[in-house]
Structure 1
Amino acid sequence: MRIGDAAAAAGLTPRALRYYEQRGLLTARRTPSGHRDYTAEDVRHLRAVRELLTAGLTIEDVRALVAAIEALPAAAEPRTDGEPGLCTLPNMIVRRRLTYLDERIERLTELRDGLTQRVGGPLRDLGRDLGSTG
């Protein structure tokens, strides 16, 4: 199917599809005339990418997940040598992103709390002073 049809089926825009391809999240096949050609499997892949991005992962996270999933053998055996196997890589990527988000939330909460404290003191007085200058 052509790019417009694939984009609509995946809930994306053609521009987003081209961007995902440019960033290495998908490789489109080409017709002899050079047009992109997508399959139903590509549409499923694009929907999964969209969901992962919507969930809060970055393009780089999704690219790493796609690479890890594609590298998994059909019957991946768990590693017994204590080293992370391919099956654990997706979990590591998600945990890393969650840790980053938790750190950002903590920092933003600190900023909000600091601003709230300041608004309750000097800034409130400043607003009162400015309002009485008329």
Structure 2
Amino acid sequence: MRIGDAAAAAGTTPRALRLYEQRGLLPPPDRSPAGQRRYGPDDVARVRVVRELLALGLTIEDVRACVDRLPLLDVETIRSRRAPEGVCVRASPVVSRRLAALDAEIARLTRQRDELAARSARPRHPETPSRATG
């Protein structure tokens, strides 16, 4: 199938397929005599797995770190949390690093939120004119 059909079947866009290919998440597809990309059912299944992993919060770089194990996964396995040990979603160093990064970002955002809340709760001094915000 051509790129538009494959993208539609995987629930994404042709641009995303080209990006996944460029970043090494998809192998280069076969080409027609006219040079058009041709995808098969295995390619569509792989794109679905990539999209599911990205939806879980992994980055393209995270997924690329375990690209050799993507054929071991399918979307239902990921969703059911029955993925084999070490395959991007269970007990994987990739997942551990991503969780640590997410925890750090949550902590940073919590501190930022608390600071903003504290500043907005402070009473204004009568001699300090209020500033209009834009």
Q: Say yes or no: TM over 0.5.
A: yes
Q: Deviations along 1:21-63, whole A, 9 cap, x unmatched?
A: 1111112121222110101010000001011111111110011
2:6 maps to what in 1?
A: 6
TM-score normalized by structure 1? 0.75
CA 1:13–1:108: 2 relative to 1, 3 Å: same
How many angstroms apart in 1 are the aligned matches of 2:59 and 2:3?
Answer: 23
CA distance in 2, matches of 1:71, 1:3: 20
Higher helix share: 1
- C-alpha contact 2:2 2:37 (8 A) present in aligned 1: yes
| Structure 2 CA distance for partners of 1:97 and 1:106, relative to 1, 3 Å | same
> Counterpart in 2 of 1:81?
none
Give the percent of matched residue pairs that are identical in Structure 1 and Structure 2: 54
CA distance 1:17–1:89, shift in 2 (3 Å): closer
2:58–2:98 Cα contact (<8 Å) kept: yes
Backbone CA RMSD of aligned residues: 2.3
Gaps of 5+ in 1: 73-86
Pair member with larger Rg? 1
* Structure 2: distance between partners of 1:93 and 1:117: 36
**Count of paired positions:** 114
Q: What residue in structure 2 maps to residue 82 of structure 1?
A: none
Q: Could you list the runs of 5+ residues in structure 2 that have no partner in the other structure?
A: 73-84
